[in-house]
Amino acid sequence: MRELTRVVGNDCAVEIDTNSYSVPWRLIGERVAVTIAPGEVRIRHGLHQVAVHKQSEGRRLRIVDAAHLDGVAGRNGAVRQEIAALLDPSPPPSLLRSLAEYEALVGGGF
């Protein structure tokens, strides 16, 4: 068993043995205590346990609990969807009324 201290990065995670383990986003920049036991990674902030992950057997992997990102802007792809809508080259929707109706309303054409 190992005890470590880490600072939560801007990516809502702490790095342990080349792997990245998620932590609730509100702890970005905070110091946390990490306990590594066989097959398990436990992360505490003060007296509270804030995350438990299965220890990764691989290298350079990102282990994420989706609940840790709740409340983060763009978490469900909303930011990407807005950007895609701005970049979408599809034509705008057609007019709801014909131009002849507008001409009649203002008193004739140009």
> pLDDT tens for residues 20-62?
999 999 999 999 999 999 999 999 999 999 999 999 999 999 9
Q: What residues contact residue 101 under an 8 Å CB cut-off, 6+ apart?
A: none
- From residue 100, alpha-carbon distances to 84, 91, 93, 96, 107 in Å are 34, 22, 18, 12, 10
Read off the pTM. Answer: 0.67
On the CB side of 11, how many CA atoms lie within 13 Å of its CA?
10
Query: What pLDDT, on a 0 to 100 scale, did the predictor assign at position 77?
Result: 56
